[in-house]
Chains A and B, each alone.
Chain A
Amino acid sequence: MPVITANKLRDSYDVVIVGSGAGGGQTAYTLTMEGVKVLVLEAGRSFDVQSEVAMFQLPSQAPLRGVATPDKQYGFHDCSINSGWDILGEPYTQAGTEPQNQFRWWRQRMMGGRTNHWGRISLRNGPYDFTPRTRWGVGLDWPIGYDDIAPYYDKVEMLIGVFGTNEGLENSPDSSPGVLQPAPKLRVGELFAQKHGKKVGAHVASIHRAVLTQPQDAETIPAKLHPGNLKAQRILADSMQSRSPCFWATDCHRGCAIRANYDSQTVHLRPALATGNLDILPNAMAREITLNKEGKATGITFIDKTTGREGHAKGRVVVLAASSMESVRLLLNSKSSLFPYGLANSSGRVGKGITDSVSSSLGAHIPAFEGMPIHNEDGAGPHAYVPWTAHAQNRNCELGFPGGYHLEFTSGRQMPTLTTFNGIDSRSGSGTTLFGARLKEDARRLHGCQLGFGAQGTMLPNDGSFCELDPELKDQWGIPVLRFHWQWTDFEINQVRHQQKHIRELLEAMGGKVKPFVEADVLKSMKPGGSVIHEVGGAIMGADAAHSVTNQWSQTWDVKNVFLADGAPFASTADKNPTLTIMALAWRMADHLMDELKKGNI
């Protein structure tokens, strides 16, 4: 079974999955390895990671030195095609007019979805992140705890390959022994922050990223992941042996032709296709989940973008993994007499409870780095981060917000971009625009002396952050579009204030010169909702059908054969990036789905 065109669809599949990214890829992998017949619908075109990604190309080899344009919104060489915040013909609308009420929605319309340009930061949620109500007295507890998902974190990490260290930290869990790949050495800036950060309570640790630092153990991991399934073990061993470890150069966001880092095609879809149990239909824009008289889903209606014709894919089970908001949109657009307000929406909760990482950033010039001997600092993206460790100080939201945030680094002499030296005049203390010999000298002296941190923190659902169908507007396929409502609460504003003050003291501890904190800048420094591309929720899991859309298995309460495998079931955002948890939940969901199929429950 291969990548197909609409006329090659089989009459029916066991499972139809919408979306080929982290969630759809993991679900397809788990199911097909166990013999389930699966169809994946992908709205974008096929994409060949081996031949289409630009790894070593320089900015000077791209139009406009590779800067972002409306056509390539993360820059020319970023591994995103037909993607963006604003895509012609695929609009969404905003209910609010104020800047702080805007929600930005990134769509990645290509095979493998957002995993193509993902930052590969793979942090586990900790126990507190599943129990905000119990831990901090606010928000809702998830219907699962850390122990329910921990075995799946181990499995996903072994499958995709994650480097990092076990630090024994509170609420930033260790992996089981032997699961993680060795962490790369830290850079000067990261080590410098490790030393001086201690003065302000910042614990600098190796970050966890989905990048191979050594060949995967194809001898033992396949048997651990697929006990008793020799075919799956053989396919996975082949897949692992076809991946090379990182060669310590090129930006992961550009994609990886040597398959050192994780993307859905490299790790999930390729072995899934090798089982012979997977069809993938690209260029298929899902419109609606179809339902029979008994209230069971029968498949997906889609637009074949190559012909403009509508098609239908039949399946015993439907899994939505189209990205949180796109899956929500599909549910809302699947209206019937049984579900006049959208499929699985008897609770009225579909579209509600959207969260994103709470984020701001700050950087400074570090004088100690001037004149440092030049060396190659490329490595494999960030090697370190600052996990949240102030749990005792924030046990009852004493800091003004629940949870916490981690800090990600920007440091080192990186490949220059068009804008790297735009701020050079103030950095070198010049009141005029530098040019000539002094400009060249200062650029050489100051390059690599900038160090910055980006914070990403906890967000709990609030009543003002949700989406619904726009009553008027439709996209180019005639599908009603989403209208977003967005609102920050005091929790998020307090957290960003804390982020800005803490990053400032951390930079100052390193000798950095930072402009003084200004209260009026707090709101301005907040990244708009959605812009971290960590938006989750909208079909959140819960303990009962009245207050949530799915049960703990990401299975909708209302329609037993509809599941979600992206971020939509997240009941809140942790101070960790969501992708690893999306994959772990998808694997757990797929195991449950197969149990239910075997038992004849769905």
Chain B
Amino acid sequence: MSDRSIKTAGTYKRTGLGHWIRQRRINKNWQFYVMLILPLLWYVLFCYLPMYGVVLAFKKYSAMKGILGSPWVDPWYKWFMKYYQSPYFARTITNTFILSFSSLLFGFPLPILLALLLNEVRNKTFQKFVQNVTYIPHFLSTVVLVGMLTCFTNRDFGIVNKLIVALGGTAENWMQVPSLFRSMYVGSGVWQNMGWDSIIYIAALAGVDPQLHESAYIDGANRYQCMWHINLPCILPTVIIMLILNSGHILSVGFEKVYLMQNGLNMAVSDVISTYVYRISLLSSNQFELSTAIGLFNSVVNCAMLVLVNKISKKVSDVQLW
């Protein structure tokens, strides 16, 4: 193979498609492009085709004609207007925002703190033990998690209510108390993901230069000061990157858990955008266009947040995603 190309190298034209291909080594690497065919086909079919399907937000869908053949709606913003004017607009947006913001508020700093504390433990066995224990809940499914919550807080049989009654309170079915929904959602989320989310910070802490600690010790710093003034600033870039990435989800709360925790009594606080979209499209009335429009609105807000936070971070701290 290589022999032949050396022999004939002189006779090749230096222009044309063949030259262009050889220059970029595409002829030698063609098998790599063959490997890429299947994954890229998957991306086209399952990511980019649906992305194009977003035009449905500006159309009147008819099942016979498909997405492409369906006619456009007259004021192009008809479905957005409909969402804006619907009584669910304020409720779903507020609930989504509050849920994801409070999840971020509690779920974001705690893993960092956990990683910093774990890093201070010298007994490796204890450190590994705590680490592995905190990972376990991550492997439970959402259904099991919500099932556990339901069992624990059951009015008649749940252990939480047994405790409350023993302390002199009154038993209640917590899953049906609207005022408890948010704290239960956020609390169980932190319980489940705290350990798992700390992994990335533990990895970052492993990369902190030990010489920094050496010199700080010589200057008389104690371990507490080292943690705050060396370890934390050293992992700050990672922290900021994670914060930027998380801010891109500010208007998307995981559907699975909210939907499972939802019931008729707590709808006022548990109805979020994704459950509303599901309800009006696949569950009951087939309002495909409206739900596409809401989904698009949601994506756009998320993207805008991502770009915005990235910009702010670039200004303030020089750390950025792109």
Are A and B co-members of a single complex?
no
Task: List B residues at the A interface (Cβ < 8 Å).
Answer: none
